[in-house]
Amino acid sequence: MQRRRTVFVLMCCFSLALLTSSSATSAKAPAQDPLREKLDFLKEKLERYLSHSFKPEENDETGHIRFEAVSFETCKITWKVSTEFGHSAELPVQMRDLTMVNRVSLNLSSIDAARTKIYVMESIKQRNIPWALALQLSTRAGSPGFTLQMVTTKRGQVTRIPVLQERQFSFMFDLRDQQIAEDVSKAFADAGAICRR
């Protein structure tokens, strides 16, 4: 009888320990960070929709552009846009075999969501270039704005452009990706609001 009671007490203690451990584990599980969610979304969409060949259907030597989310971890984000022009006869001579790397930094709290615009750049569209849909972000007055650092390379000659501070920056989407551009615009606005709290 005494042995059964001891076993029962031990089983109760063990069960209670498991329940307590399970509750503690659940309590420690962090809630999804809303900023992290927005930044992950932006990184995935921008890298996917802004990296492409200039004429992917023709597989020619015009060139390509690549978007890289360098640092999308905090309210201060950095990305890099690398544009490599080929040696196609369609390109102006000064653009052939030219590589441009533009590194851009932005504090998301600077975004002025009310001034964000999505529009078609008709001059590009008329040249039958699909990436004519611009998502233009603007920054609030008095904020640092966008910090741009550009480096160009042509025939081994490297040119570094002095650092620029800009109030606006545009991302160029395919005309078919209007909804994606709108989703990205909203994610930037939401992230900016989070960072201003």
Mind listing the pLDDT tens digit for each residue in 55-99? 655 555 688 999 999 999 999 999 999 999 887 777 788 888 899
pLDDT digit string, tens, across residues 6-29: 333 333 333 333 333 333 333 333
pLDDT for 31: 45
- β-strands 133-138, 63-71 pairing: unpaired
Residue 21 shares a structural domain with residue 117 = no
In angstroms, the first-to-last Cα distance of the chain is: 64
Task: Write a three-state SS string for 1-55.
Answer: CHHHHHHHHHHHHHHHHHHHHHHHHHHHCCCCCHHHHHHHHHHHHHHHHCCEECC
Which residue did the predictor score with more confidence, 90 or 143?
143
Asked whether residue 91 falls in the same domain as residue 12, the answer is no
Q: What is the 3-state secondary structure (H, E, C) of 126-187?
A: CCCCCCCEEEEEEECCCCCCEEEEEEEEECCEEEEEEEEEECEEEEEECHHHHHHHHHHHHH
The verdict on 75 and 138 lying in the same domain is yes
Which two three-digit tokens encode residue 146?
A: 């966008």
Pair 19, 61 in one domain: no
Report whether pLDDT(46) > 90.
yes
Same domain for 165 and 117: yes
DSSP for residue 83:
E
Q: What average pLDDT does range 135-156 have in this prediction?
A: 93
Q: Residue 147 above 80 pLDDT?
A: yes
Q: d(Cα 102, Cα 119) in Å, to the nearest integer?
A: 22
Average pLDDT over residues 124-143: 92
Distance CA 122, CA 125 (A): 5
Check pLDDT > 50 for residue 185. Answer: yes
pLDDT at 61: 67
For the question of whether the overall pTM of this predicted structure is more than 0.75, the answer is yes
> Mean pLDDT for the chain?
83
Query: 151 and 138: one domain?
Result: yes
CA distance 150 to 155: 17
- Confidence band, pLDDT 50/70/90 cuts, at residue 123: very high
Structure token digits, residue 181? 């551009």
Please check whether residues 37 and 22 belong to one and the same domain: no
Are 54 and 63 contacting, i.e. CB atoms less than 8 angstroms apart? yes
Using CA atoms, how far apart are residues 71 and 13, in angstroms rounded to an integer? Answer: 48
**Which is nearest to 76 in space by CA: 110, 103, 44, 33?**
110
More confident residue, 92 or 149: 149
Same domain, 104 and 73: yes
For residue 25, give its domain range.
1-30
Angle between helices 34-49 and 178-195 (to 10 degrees): 150
- Is residue 14 located within the same domain as residue 94? no
> What band does 128 get if pLDDT is binned at 50, 70 and 90?
confident
Number of folded domains that form the chain: 2
Q: How confident is the model at residue 55, as a pLDDT? A: 67
Give the residue from 96, 59, 81 showing the smallest Cα distance to 151: 81
